[in-house]
Structure 1
Amino acid sequence: MRSICVYCGSRMGNSEIHADAARALAQEMVNDNIALVYGGAHVGLMGILADEVLRLGGEVTGVIPKDLLEKEVGHDGLTRLYIVKDMHERKAMMAELADGFITLSGGMGTLDELFETFTWSMLGVHEKPIGILNIDGFYDNLIGLIDHLVDQGFVDTRYADMLFTAADPKTLVTKLRDASAPEEIESKASARFLI
């Protein structure tokens, strides 16, 4: 695994635990020589994560829509920054540049990115591992909702099992790295069927 796309908030949240998690994830990625792909902003958790990867000597690629360049304060110190026309192009380019995905704490935009990436996986658009960093139970309710959708017959268990979760960055990065092995991808791809 050479790169991971990380989805996270353009805000800091109400607890320092989220910024600490972003820094810890940056450390794990740099330790494993995994480059960061993210939304290109210098604010919120996005900025914390990018700054820490850079500080530790890692590589960071940002992708930001032109109309958000000022609003989200585009990061001008990245390894590379792509400016795209809209959110659709942003998500598609981030997915193309990454070998896997991790969702940190965030709001509606973060959830949008997670669910679109997850749906793409279910449809066979990509075969890249997806993880949720569930810091201090932040995503417990979301994970519970996905389990509820499975219980109610709206999501097949095979799809839900494609979403990796962990409470700490090291465990989650390891899960994604192990899941990106060719035999794991092949077994998951063969399990796909119509939604």
Structure 2
Amino acid sequence: MTDERFAVCVYCSSSKGIDPAIVDLAAEVGTALARERMIVVSGGGGVSCMGALVRAARAAGGRTEGIITEFLVDLEVADRESDELVVTSSMRERKAEMDRRSDAFVILPGGLGTLEELFEIWTTRGLGEHNRPLYVVDPQGIFDPLFAALQGLCERGLIKPEAFSALQVVRDVPTLIELLRSARA
């Protein structure tokens, strides 16, 4: 295990009232990243999946860095317990700061915001702006219909195969951790 900084940005939901299994998945990811001494970079919220992720990471001895906009500080109930909480003036600045701090990206099942973040970081990877790993952790197959549709776009030449294959879908946290260990090495 290395002492060198390795930060993982986790995109996940801050919506209330979602399937508790998804919230539990976020907590499992937070715990696993902390045990690997990987820094958790999040959207800076303290509720739902975001809150479960960062609380679990800190409970396991990990470091959390939250990036949130001024507008969302009150709306998402900012994670004021974060080891570092950065407040930006816009979503564009927020995402840029999350991107800048991260060595890898993990996407958990989420809604429009999570999907927007997934597509942006995936697109910039496909354009060659970065070569950092992208992982979707989806034990329930929630995103399977979406990825089937995207595979169809790839088959029609609308998405380059190398861009499509840059995103790895995994079904469990132990597999994610093995992939992240390899990426860090």
Amino acid at match of 1:107: G
How many residues are matched?
A: 181
Q: Distance in 1 between matches of 2:104 and 2:42?
A: 12
Matched, 1:159 2:158: no
In the alignment, what sits opposite 1:186? none
In the alignment, what sits opposite 2:92? 88
Q: What are the superposed Cα offsets for residues 68-107 of structure 1, whole Å, 9 maximum, x if unpaired?
A: 1111111110100000010001111001101000001211
Asked whether the equivalents of residues 41 and 73 of structure 1 are also in contact (C-alpha less than 8 Å), the reply is yes
**What RMSD over aligned residues (CA atoms) do the two structures have, in Å?**
1.4
In the alignment, what sits opposite 2:36? 32
Q: Distance in 1 between matches of 2:131 and 2:49?
A: 27
SS at match of 1:136: coil
Matched, 1:142 2:146: yes
Amino acid at match of 2:10: V
Q: Identity of counterpart residues, as a percentage?
A: 33
In the alignment, what sits opposite 1:77? 81
Asked whether the equivalents of residues 8 and 110 of structure 1 are also in contact (C-alpha less than 8 Å), the reply is yes
Amino acid at match of 1:158: E
Q: Distance in 2 between matches of 1:102 and 1:13?
A: 22
How far off is 1:22 after superposition?
Answer: 0.9
Q: Distance in 2 between matches of 1:173 and 1:156?
A: 27
Matched, 1:114 2:118: yes
Asked whether the equivalents of residues 131 and 176 of structure 1 are also in contact (C-alpha less than 8 Å), the reply is no
Q: Distance in 2 between matches of 1:123 and 1:2?
A: 23
Asked whether the equivalents of residues 130 and 176 of structure 1 are also in contact (C-alpha less than 8 Å), the reply is no
Select the residue among 168, 174, 178 that pairs with 1:170: 174
How far off is 1:10 after superposition?
Answer: 0.6
Matched, 1:54 2:58: yes
Larger deviation, residues 13-22 vs 1-10? 13-22
How far off is 1:180 after superposition?
Answer: 5.2
How far off is 1:150 after superposition?
Answer: 0.7
In the alignment, what sits opposite 2:105? 101
Alignment of 1:124-135 (within 5 A): 124-135=128-139
Matched, 1:63 2:32: no
TM-score by length of 1: 0.88
Q: Which runs of 5+ in 1 are unaligned?
A: 182-195
Q: What are the superposed Cα offsets for residues 115-147 of structure 1, whole Å, 9 maximum, x if unpaired?
A: 000011111111110010112111111221221
Give 4+ residue runs of structure 1 displaced > 3 Å after superposition.
none
Asked whether the equivalents of residues 129 and 180 of structure 1 are also in contact (C-alpha less than 8 Å), the reply is no
Q: Distance in 2 between matches of 1:164 and 1:180?
A: 16
Q: Which runs of 5+ in 2 are unaligned?
A: none
Change (3 A) 1:134 1:13: farther
Asked whether the equivalents of residues 50 and 60 of structure 1 are also in contact (C-alpha less than 8 Å), the reply is yes
